[in-house]
Structure 1
Amino acid sequence: MKLKMGYAVMLLIVFLCHEVSSISILPHKHQTISLLKFKQSFTIDPSASYFLSWDTSRDCCSWNGVVCDGITGHVIELDLGGSGLVGTIDSNSSLFQLSHLQTLDLSRNNFSNSHISPEFGKFSSLKHLDLSGSYFSGQIPSEIFHLPNLEALYLENNDQLSGHFPKIKWNSSASLITLHLSGVNFSDNLPESIGYLTSVRYLYLSDCNLRGPIPESISNLTRIESLDLQINSLNGTIPSGVFSLPLLISIYLRDNQLQGQLEDFKSNSLNEILLDDNQLQGHLPHSIQNQVSLSWLDLSFNNFSGRVDVSLFSNLIQLRHLSLSYNNISLTNDNNITLPDSLVELELAACEVKELEFLRSAKLLRQLDLPNNKIQGRIPGWAWSNWNLSMTYLNLSHNMLTSVDLIPLQSLQIIDLRSNLLQGSLPIPPNSTTYFFISHNNLTGEIPSSICNLTSLVMLDLGRNNLRGEIPQCLGNITALEVLDMHHNNLSGNIPTTFRNGSSLSSLNFHGNKLEGKIPQSLTSCKQLEVLDLGDNHLNDTFPVWLGTLPQLKVLSLRFNKLHGPIRTSRIENMFPELRIIDLSYNAFSGNLPSSLFQHLKAMRTIDLSMEASRYDGDRYYQDSIAVVSKGYEREVVRILFLYTTIDLSNNKFEGHIPTIMGDLIALRVLNISHNGLEGPIPSSLGSLSLVESLDLSCNHLVGEIPAQFASLTSLEVFNLSYNHLEGCIPQGNQFQTFENNSYEGNDGLRGFPVSKSCGDDHVSGTKSAVSGQLDDEDSNSEFLSDFRKAALMGYGSGLCIGFSIVYFMISTGKPIWLARIIVELEHKIMMGRRKKQRRQRNCRRRNNH
């Protein structure tokens, strides 16, 4: 009996194993085909090794990224994140045949032009769906939000994805733990339905173009640990219940338009609070000091006010980052307390900090940002000692420091001491330094050649000091250097000639020194150069046409030097392709205006409507600036690359006519060719400069009328044609109603508003003077005048002696009263012409000096 029972059990086991084997084997073939079809619908980099295991000779459950259920054999996990898939997913994709999926990760691939199919909503067992960073576009199908078992949904970093945040309760809201939709364009208010997600722990909705107030229902998210609504357009106040959420660890509301005062922090679990870049106001809540778990607090760029004592943060023993910059607060230390020694990053810009004693215990500081404060005197010795091995970023700019002899911080990378009262010689930072800013001080002495030991230098700004001597030649050998700024010092000698191939230099500013010699041709090795300012020096050279080979050059200023000769350009076709500012004023350039140069200026021939000031914010640490004459005034312009398009060739010795091709430079905002020897008429093509704001053609020898096309220059704010030989009617309407007499003075032939002469009937009648009796009939003497002119011409052609003899003969036989009158008039015209010329020269010189 026992043998029969054992035999029966054995048969049952064999049967069950056969059935299980059948169950596990049968779906594999179908799933294998579906997976291979899915793979074959994409382009895959042949060098990618991700799919090497997808071999039909092997069980698909052993393939890379595939996980099957151990009992049923169904594929339940498919992880193809970052596998290099390129293509589209449509509703007919074989992917949707894998109906038992519980986890699907297709993140970090390239499904450009793919919409998220509603078929994703048929994965009824799906718990984890990750489609982030894969270039999906279009609307998010509502079916995804109603997956019944969904616990985690990741759709972030799909810039072209849009949709509407559900305004009803979701089917999956009871199970959803993580919702990451950052970057999706909702363009809508955050609805009250957000309060239905009571199981959510991690909610990320940053940069979603959300508007309106934060709904009060968000206080229902009692399980939430991380709330991220930063970089939106949310307004109103922060709901009072937010800071009472019992499990909340991180709250990110930065970069919105939130207002009102901060409520007390009633939750003691907070670890990160980022509320910067809003419009919050009032005093900081005292409950901050109870957040003993707090490691990151950023309240900068708000409207908080009042006195804030250091003691508010002294108990936060885990605090690593503290930022209160740019509010209306005043930091005090009434009890001589120090900040916790856990502090790693401290930002207190514009907080009226007066001393550094409260940092004596902060020996782990890596980043210290204290600009725009009231710190005086020297940096204390204990500071250099405490921060020697940790500090990488130090910003004490815009304070009142008087001396820094040494900077003994071995790990320092960025140091900013701009705009202090520093005296003495230039301190040399450690060799690890990459960014060194010490401009706008009173430093003296020479620049030591040891500065070239900083071989990792990226930016060096020594401008606006009193440094003298020569510029170390070795600076040209630092290939990592991108910005070299020594403007407005007393430096002399030659410009370094050691620039070499591989140079990263993008901005070179030696303006306002006493540099001599020629412009070094080695600058052609600096293929990344965008800004070159050598103005206000003593350079003696011809026009450096070879600079035109620099493909990125946008700004060229050579003003106030001793440059001379005609401007000739090369036959190379692509010269100065990106140039937007060229200033050659106050030199001795001669010859005709360089038509061939204007033909090359491609960046000035096209108006780029997308080119706005916001496109160029400069580097985080440095912004290019240049001195330009705009609208009659010299100004230092910052963020110049996209703001100004300027040609200034004034105060040279240019001759000839204004080239008509200048009218093709339609992106110009400032054009100044005044104080030259230009002649001929003003070309009507200049009326095409629709963006021009300042146009100065004064102090030349221009003739003819003002082109009527100028009336269409509606952007024109400053217009100067003074001291030429122009005549005719001044155009009327638009901007011409705003210009005053000084725009036209020195042009006696001009008529119309605002000059006194009428532009209507130009006939001027007058009463006969008492002298008319002596003149008798003027017509009767016309024959004599004609004969006199002939005699003068004969005298000019035959020589003065014969000419005067003829005139003497005519006097002895003619009417000497008429001759006397003519001679007096000629003498008067000659004298008036001389005086007018002298007056013109005097006025132009006065304008130059101004």
Structure 2
Amino acid sequence: MHPLCHDEESHALMQFKQSLAINDSASSDPSAYPKVASWTVDGDCCSWDGVECHRDSGHVIGLDLSSSCLFGSIDSNSSLFHLVHLRRLNLAGNDFNNSEIPSEIRNLSRLFDLNLSHSFFSGQIPEAILELSKLVSIDLRLNSLKLQKPGLQHLVEALINLEVLHLSDVNISAKNHLELLELEQNKLEGHIPKWFMNMSTMTLELISLAGNFLTGFEQSFEVLPWNKLSSLNLNSNKLHGSLPTPPPTFFDYKVSTTNSPEKSQKGNIPRSLANCAKLEILNLEQNKIIDVFPSWLGILPDLRVLILRSNGLHGVIGKPRNNVEFPRVQIVDLSNNSFKGNLPLEYFRNWTAMKNVH
């Protein structure tokens, strides 16, 4: 037999119920129904629909009112924020009338799962959310929210336990002046969304999304939109489709996939790379690139690392046209391709920079 619900928590839940209206049009899910309709003042709140209590202490630790036909505003005085033992809060699929997320959400410091998706919240995501350090999963998608202060990187860095972050349709582009964005090994999955492509287009210099489960870009484009970008690392994702074309400012370009070969990046090596006069590192390993040896990259004056292993490169590697091709190259990996014949000895004579590898 579980302990009875605490009076103050039962009262807080009833107040929260009474602060909102039940409206069938507030939830679009065909299976939606008003869970709070069965709540009664004289009942044990631990047995109420959508309420989960700790089996020993009786404190309310879970509240799932997703698709419950709730309509109305949530403000800073909401009794919801009196439920300080909550670990899971799901209010998805309701209509909170364009409420802003109150800063009082910081009171729910034990939360590790927060879902406010598709619930007509609006405005700025409060900085107070950074104080919810136990959060493992956040879902804020399909609202009219903005993430400006804190910015995306600050959010990810502050919430060190975060594993799942859903921000589809959240505006993070306005007033954003990031120069460096590193989101490596954060279990990000799916397409890189459109809003990401509009973020800090005039200031971003380095992006690393390596070690995730990204499949490509949601929006197609000819050239990456960041004017000052010099380094892009998309290694160890599940990318497929065409390779993105970098701007001429690039010096470090890494794109590889953990996909099976039939789902990897496809196509040729972008010829626009020849315009990247500052390019020092080019790593396109383990993609499905079908091309011949890119001797045209030999004009790049600063290229030091060329890794093209595990692709579909084929044909004969011809002799260099002159003795200044690849003047600074130090590391070349062409293994696991389908080349024919031998690598001309002239390359070894020309690649004198290899003697200076430290």
TM range (shorter): 0.5 to 0.7
- Quick check: 1:178 aligned with 2:174? no
* Contact 2:289/2:312 (<8 A) preserved: no
Of 178, 190, 195, which aligns to 1:191?
Answer: 178
Structure 1 residues 43 and 229: alpha-carbon distance in aligned structure 2, compared to 1, 3 A threshold: farther
- Quick check: 1:80 aligned with 2:65? yes
Structure 1 residues 66 and 182: alpha-carbon distance in aligned structure 2, compared to 1, 3 A threshold: same
Gaps of 5+ in 1: 1-16, 292-310, 314-850
Distance in 2 of aligned mates of 1:190 and 1:280: 30
Gaps of 5+ in 2: 25-31, 275-283, 291-310, 314-358
Of 247, 268, 272, which aligns to 2:258?
Answer: 268
Of 206, 214, 219, which aligns to 1:226?
Answer: 214
SS in 2 for 1:207: helix
1:249 maps to what in 2?
238
Structure 1 residues 48 and 175: alpha-carbon distance in aligned structure 2, compared to 1, 3 A threshold: closer
| 1:287 Cα deviation after fit | 4.8
* Contact 2:85/2:108 (<8 A) preserved: yes
SS in 1 for 2:12: helix
2:199 maps to what in 1?
210
Structure 1 residues 250 and 146: alpha-carbon distance in aligned structure 2, compared to 1, 3 A threshold: farther
Distance in 2 of aligned mates of 1:252 and 1:73: 52
Structure 1 residues 218 and 127: alpha-carbon distance in aligned structure 2, compared to 1, 3 A threshold: farther
* Contact 2:207/2:231 (<8 A) preserved: no
| 1:199 Cα deviation after fit | 5.6
Distance in 2 of aligned mates of 1:181 and 1:129: 12
Correspondences of 1:170-569 after superposition (within 5 Å): 172-186=158-172, 187-189=174-176, 191-192=178-179, 194-195=181-182, 197=183, 200-202=186-188, 206-207=194-195, 209-212=198-201, 215=204, 218-219=207-208, 223-226=211-214, 230-231=218-219, 234-236=225-227, 242-244=233-235, 246=236, 248-250=237-239, 259=247, 263=253, 265-269=255-259, 281=272, 287-289=286-288, 312=312
- Quick check: 1:70 aligned with 2:79? no
- Quick check: 1:30 aligned with 2:29? no
* Contact 1:192/1:215 (<8 A) preserved: yes
Deviation sequence 1:475-521 (CA, Å, 0-9, x none): xxxxxxxxxxxxxxxxxxxxxxxxxxxxxxxxxxxxxxxxxxxxxxx
Amino acid at match of 1:147: L
1:143 maps to what in 2?
128
* Contact 2:125/2:146 (<8 A) preserved: yes
Distance in 2 of aligned mates of 1:161 and 1:42: 24
Structure 1 residues 240 and 224: alpha-carbon distance in aligned structure 2, compared to 1, 3 A threshold: same
SS in 2 for 1:150: coil
| 1:29 Cα deviation after fit | 2.4
Q: Which has the larger radius of gyration?
A: 1
| RMSD (CA atoms) | 4.5
SS in 2 for 1:212: coil
Structure 1 residues 224 and 218: alpha-carbon distance in aligned structure 2, compared to 1, 3 A threshold: farther
| 1:134 Cα deviation after fit | 1.6
Amino acid at match of 2:166: H
Distance in 1 of aligned mates of 2:56 and 2:258: 46
- With 184-193 and 117-126 compared, the bigger mean Cα shift is at 184-193
| 1:217 Cα deviation after fit | 5.2
Structure 1 residues 222 and 280: alpha-carbon distance in aligned structure 2, compared to 1, 3 A threshold: same
| 1:137 Cα deviation after fit | 1.6
* Contact 1:136/1:161 (<8 A) preserved: no
* Contact 2:186/2:211 (<8 A) preserved: yes
SS in 2 for 1:144: helix
| 1:192 Cα deviation after fit | 4.7
Deviation sequence 1:570-605 (CA, Å, 0-9, x none): xxxxxxxxxxxxxxxxxxxxxxxxxxxxxxxxxxxx
2:115 maps to what in 1?
130
| 1:182 Cα deviation after fit | 2.4
| 1:201 Cα deviation after fit | 1.2
Amino acid at match of 2:258: N
Distance in 2 of aligned mates of 1:120 and 1:289: 47
Structure 1 residues 167 and 222: alpha-carbon distance in aligned structure 2, compared to 1, 3 A threshold: closer
| 1:141 Cα deviation after fit | 0.8
Amino acid at match of 1:225: F
Amino acid at match of 2:199: L
Aligned-pair identity (%): 30
| 1:57 Cα deviation after fit | 4.9
Structure 1 residues 178 and 226: alpha-carbon distance in aligned structure 2, compared to 1, 3 A threshold: farther
Structure 1 residues 71 and 189: alpha-carbon distance in aligned structure 2, compared to 1, 3 A threshold: same
Structure 1 residues 239 and 78: alpha-carbon distance in aligned structure 2, compared to 1, 3 A threshold: farther
Q: Which has the higher contact order (CA 8 A, sep 6+)?
A: 2
| 1:97 Cα deviation after fit | 0.6
Distance in 1 of aligned mates of 2:154 and 2:16: 34
Distance in 2 of aligned mates of 1:29 and 1:251: 55
- With 234-243 and 150-159 compared, the bigger mean Cα shift is at 234-243
* Contact 1:110/1:135 (<8 A) preserved: yes
- Quick check: 1:40 aligned with 2:29? no
SS in 1 for 2:123: strand
Distance in 2 of aligned mates of 1:190 and 1:258: 20
Deviation sequence 1:408-447 (CA, Å, 0-9, x none): xxxxxxxxxxxxxxxxxxxxxxxxxxxxxxxxxxxxxxxx
* Contact 1:235/1:257 (<8 A) preserved: no
Deviation sequence 1:613-656 (CA, Å, 0-9, x none): xxxxxxxxxxxxxxxxxxxxxxxxxxxxxxxxxxxxxxxxxxxx
Deviation sequence 1:379-433 (CA, Å, 0-9, x none): xxxxxxxxxxxxxxxxxxxxxxxxxxxxxxxxxxxxxxxxxxxxxxxxxxxxxxx
| 1:159 Cα deviation after fit | 2.8
Amino acid at match of 1:289: K
SS in 2 for 1:91: coil
1:607 maps to what in 2?
none
Distance in 2 of aligned mates of 1:274 and 1:213: 27
Correspondences of 1:552-701 after superposition (within 5 Å): none
* Contact 2:213/2:238 (<8 A) preserved: yes
* Contact 1:118/1:144 (<8 A) preserved: yes
- Quick check: 1:91 aligned with 2:90? no
SS in 2 for 1:119: helix
Deviation sequence 1:231-250 (CA, Å, 0-9, x none): 59942487655232x3x235
* Contact 1:190/1:211 (<8 A) preserved: yes
| 1:166 Cα deviation after fit | 5.2
Please state which structure has a larger fraction of its residues in helix.
1
